[in-house]
Amino acid sequence: MPDRIQLLPDHVANQIAAGEVVQRPASVVKELLENAIDAGAKNIQLIIKDGGKTLIQVVDDGMGMSVTDARLSFERHATSKIRNADDLFHLSTKGFRGEALASIAAIAHVEMKTRPGTDELGTLLCIQGSRVTDQEVITTPVGTSVAVKNLFFNIPARRNFLKSKQVELRHITDEFHRVALAHPAIGFQYFHDGNELYNLPETNHRQRIVHLFGGKTNEKLVPVSEETQVVEISGFICKPEFAKKSRGEQFFFVNDRFIKSPYLHHAVSAAFEGLIRSDVHPGYFLYLKVDPGSIDINIHPTKTEIKFDDEQTLYAILRSSVKHSLGQFNIAPVLDFERDQNLDTPYDYKEKGAQLPRVTVDAGFNPFREDSSRKSAPSRFSSKQESSWESMYVGLDSQVGNENTFSSLTVESDSYTSSIFDADGEKEQRGSSFQLRRKYIVTTIKSGMLVIDQSRAHQRVLYEKFLKSITVKNAVSQQLLFPMVLHFSPPEMQMIREIKESLVAIGFAFGEMEEEQLQVTGVPLMVSSSEVGMVLDHLISDYQSEQEGESFSQTDVLSKTLCKSLAVKSGEVLDTESQMALVDDLFACKEPSLSPFGKKTYVTLTESDIDKKFI
């Protein structure tokens, strides 16, 4: 029997490892930025082109590498961080597995320029698909520059799975935020297609958060500080009134490394219990310092998941720390039963000063003058106006007793058109409808009974209306008397700019769009001015959860978000006319049986189904 097991070639093994380490351009950005930080850089530049598909370049002013180190850095499992297995439990650096550069070089064109401070000349190294194509001595500044071009050039299937430029850029920006937030003492510059997106100077944690998420973020932050033998906690939480539908501003850092931990997130959410609604999420930027020997960060190739030795204790300390900060800074609600709210100064008048009343006196007024003299004095009414009241009753007697006064008046009645048809095309005969549990609409039809989920049905109706409005671009917009000014972070404003054209097509009208605020001058007819902020928050939340990648298009995501936000909710009372109108609108849709999210909108109970219940 011939032998069937054989060793994989190095380039194939590197490509398989790349599938774990490099999932998209953002993965390359993370690895290169962490390498620059480990090199002791004080200033780092990130240069992106075409959402990372064409170019990803990281330039740092760190210690650089010698010729031998530069060549060895692209070999598998080559690292300067560990010498034996025990070192894995005392790590204080980012990259240590020795897989990142080898994996990246296996699926891209890599060009590295590096020079240590002790050498006068540097090294240029060019690699394509794990194969070194060029190595020479060059003149270059101290530090390292790594340019990754044409990602997944030799794996077309992986390249086809990449999303649009905007989506990939958003993932890269998320990784940039995570690294920049963990290291405020390092200056960062971020460029995309020649445009500077961020220029972050060396600063502290609070200012770094403000630089990344906008000046309005400063008023949201509440400091958190706690030091115990188990963990040292610092950072900030956002005030309860700024909780959002999206999970965007939620960051955990353990020993200056970003992690994802649903368990710790639950601890923070538990501290906010009673202060925020169940459908919103609090924002936080929390930094945890623990003993490196008490955690294991080698359980996942991307190193975003960490295993703690004593999670229960950490959970309790984190929850109590956040609760303490909420109470210490008077964020928690307090009831004062002795205060009379009727005596509170209205909000609009808190900053206004007192104004003395002004009284004017008519010095020429004399009540004992005759009528003729009074007429010459200033008066608000003329004699013609005073005597014209008699003309109001002219012709009134001629109309008294006339029974046909309103005989020529016609009233326009709404035309009734039913849209429920049976298999033969004949109109179903249905009676009146009623609402069941404020959730379902029940009505009779020729074959039995119809039970409709009012929320899902209204979602289907609105979804098709919005799709038609965006496609045809004939939506009607109602202009606001006073334009609304909404505040968003720079990343959220970037998302709004991406979908601005679709929002305008659906009926929104915008004024000035600045870096951190948006002026809304018009809204669709189906959207009230009080719902504009909520709708835009839901849109941003859906885009951050990558619904665009799962759906057909940006138009589809926009329509689904709007219909979900504006549809009638379960628990709302509908009168009979609204119930019947919703039923007719539903069966006028192209796909009335399913909601936009693939769930049933109604069920039919035939007479035979009901008869079976009594057998």
Neighbours of 12 (CB within 10 A): 12
Phi, psi of 604 (to 5 degrees): -110, 125
For residue 263, the surrounding DSSP H or E stretch is helix 262-271
CA trace torsion 254, 260, 266, 272 (10° rounding)? 70
Assess whether 464 and 581 both reside in one domain.
yes
Which tokens belong to 339?
A: 């205060």
Which tokens belong to 487?
A: 């505040």
- Tell me the C-alpha distance between 483 and 219, whole Å: 24
CB proximity list for 371: less than 8 A, separation 6 or greater: none
Please state the domain count of the chain. 3
> What is the Cα 408 distance to its own chain's centre?
58
Mean pLDDT of 374-393: 50
Q: What percent of the chain has pLDDT over 90?
A: 34
CATH of the domain at 315: 3.30.230.10
Q: Is 66 exposed, middle or buried (0-12, 13-18, 19+ CB in 10 A)?
A: middle
What radius of gyration do the chain's Cα atoms show? 34
Mean pLDDT of 210-231: 90
Assess whether 154 and 219 both reside in one domain.
no
CATH of the domain at 466: 3.30.1370.100
Q: What percent of the chain has pLDDT over 70?
A: 77
Domain boundary pick from 181, 200, 219: 200
Give the residue carrying structure tokens 């900060």.
325
Q: What is the pLDDT of residues 184-194, one digit of tens each?
A: 999 999 999 99
Is residue 540 domain-resident?
A: yes
Over 50: is that where the pLDDT of 416 sits? no
Assess whether 94 and 214 both reside in one domain.
no
Assess whether 187 and 219 both reside in one domain.
no
CB-CB contact of 492 with 513 (8 Å): no
For residue 611, the surrounding DSSP H or E stretch is helix 607-612
CB-CB contact of 529 with 498 (8 Å): no
Over 50: is that where the pLDDT of 374 sits? no
CB proximity list for 586: less than 8 A, separation 6 or greater: 452, 457, 460, 461, 592, 601, 602
Lowest mean per-residue pLDDT among 53-67, 104-118, 359-373, 457-471: 359-373
Is residue 392 domain-resident?
A: no
Assess whether 35 and 131 both reside in one domain.
yes
- Tell me the C-alpha distance between 29 and 24, whole Å: 9
CB-CB contact of 146 with 126 (8 Å): no
End-to-end CA distance of the chain: 68
**Phi/psi zone of residue 152: left (φ > 0), alpha (ψ -120 to 50 degrees), beta?**
left
Assess whether 109 and 210 both reside in one domain.
no
- Tell me the C-alpha distance between 480 and 530, whole Å: 11
- Tell me the C-alpha distance between 99 and 596, whole Å: 43
CA dist 465 → 91, 452, 546 (Å) = 56, 19, 24
Domain boundary pick from 164, 180, 200: 200
Mean pLDDT of 57-61: 96
Nearest to 181 by CA among 206, 218, 215: 206
Assess whether 268 and 233 both reside in one domain.
yes
Q: At 149, is the pLDDT very low, low, confident or very high (cuts 50, 70, 90)?
A: very high
Assess whether 254 and 289 both reside in one domain.
yes
Assess whether 578 and 449 both reside in one domain.
yes
Assess whether 170 and 239 both reside in one domain.
no
Q: What is the pLDDT of residues 423-448, one digit of tens each?
A: 443 334 445 788 888 899 998 888 78
Assess whether 506 and 574 both reside in one domain.
yes
Assess whether 209 and 306 both reside in one domain.
yes
Nearest to 549 by CA among 10, 20, 21, 24: 24
Which tokens belong to 454?
A: 């009012």
Structural domain span for residue 155? 10-200
